[in-house]
A and B are shown apart, each in its own frame.
Chain A
Amino acid sequence: MLVLGRRPGENIRIGDDIKVIVLEVRGGQIKLGIEAPLDVQVHREEIYERIQQQNRKAAGMSPEDLGVAARYLRQSGRG
């Protein structure tokens, strides 16, 4: 892993078109600005982890629970 020290107002360039700007450092928190092309996805890591957990949970669903939920949707006119 490349480790770089930066102060507020300083930047990091990744390739030609991605810029990470250190905006503010305060009380153990760092505020970053990220300039990247529209087709580069930028997300907080926790979001990916939660989606991964949710996918795992969906894959572990019991057919019985799904059957009950399916009946509920049909009865409520959404089936």
Chain B
Amino acid sequence: MRIQTRTLGAVEATPESFLTLPDGLVGYEAEREFALVAPADYAPFHWLLSFSDPDLALPVLPARLVAPDYEPALGASDRRALGCAESDALEVWLIASVDPARGLTVNLRAPIVVHAGTRLARQVVLSDGRFAIDQAIAPSTKADHSAAQQKAA
């Protein structure tokens, strides 16, 4: 299936990449059907793409890649929403954004949790205030640009 996005243009998504978020995303509660795709140009980023809203394409990173020790505590309602038992393995994804001042940041407070078996997912809002909404994980892109240029020179 082809998904139209404003940021990435048309993206091909296979059924294995489809996800249902029964409660949508915070601020986008009406959007339920998504695909989680990995265009090669942006590895290791994946993109969470809404089937119906071309403006809703969110870059995400696997939590284990950027925050290996991160262990969000899920509540009973979260597990129920995902249709999963206590022992079921869940994938955890972090929504990423780039800020001119803070560089690349991820949202540790509200991860996307995916049940690989049911293909149900949910943006979980954690009650633990120690998890930052914009945790910096890389220097600002401007610094990256100049470093790359210096390397090239």
Contact = CB atoms under 8 A, between A and B. Distances in A.
Interface residues of B, number: 44
A53 to B, nearest CB: 8
B10 interface: no
A-side interface mostly: helix
A10 interface: no
B130 interface: no
B89 to A, nearest CB: 21
B27 A55 contact: yes
A41 interface: yes
Given A72-B104, A76-B138, A58 B144 contact: no
A73 B138 contact: yes
Contacts of A41: 75, 77, 125, 127
Contacts, number: 114
A46 B29 CA distance: 17
Contacts of B75: 38-39, 41
B80 to A, nearest CB: 7
Contact of A39 (B66, B80, B138): B80
Contacts of B144: 68-69, 71-72
State the 4 A-B residue pairs at the shortest beta-carbon distance, nearest first.
A52-B27, A39-B77, A65-B98, A79-B44
Given A54-B134, A74-B43, 17 more contacts: A41-B77, A42-B127, A43-B127, A51-B27, A52-B26, A53-B27, A54-B97, A54-B107, A54-B110, A58-B96, A63-B7, A69-B96, A69-B103, A69-B138, A70-B41, A70-B45, A72-B138
